[in-house]
Structure 1
Amino acid sequence: MNSVYVLHHVRPEEDDYYEDVKMIGVFTDIAAAEAAKTALLSQPGFRDYPDGFHIDEYELNKIHWQEGFGDPS
């Protein structure tokens, strides 16, 4: 296995600066991540925001954020 698949759900809030982000799970293949998404689509909250699901592939043993944090000022 060289990669994992991370399933998130993002729901926008009324505040323009906030999103409700839920990390659902980490899966060994895309099919398992898609199956989890399908299972959750009928659940309260998730069914109201079906487009909020995101599946991202992450290569193992790799730094995925190589930049530092920006200066907030």
Structure 2
Amino acid sequence: MAPMLEYIKTILQKVSFDKSLFEKELRKAIESLLPDEVKHLKSWCYEQFGKMYRSVLNRCFYRVRFS
């Protein structure tokens, strides 16, 4: 896995105690990653945080299109 993606996962885990901080970091991550990495991040996020932050995830990944 790409080092940047692993770094982002670590950041998201560390800020997951705060909903607004989590959303801010997730938005930055989506902007900075390649489409394949975003696809992986999306499935990982729903697996890890789907119960806690489903509405945030839906909002952040709503506009993401995979070509």
TM over 0.5: no
More contact order relative to length (CA 8 Å, sep ≥ 6): 1
Q: TM-score range by the shorter chain?
A: 0.3 to 0.5
User: Which is strand-richer, 1 or 2?
Assistant: 1
User: Which is helix-richer, 1 or 2?
Assistant: 2
TM-score calculated relative to the size of structure 2: 0.36
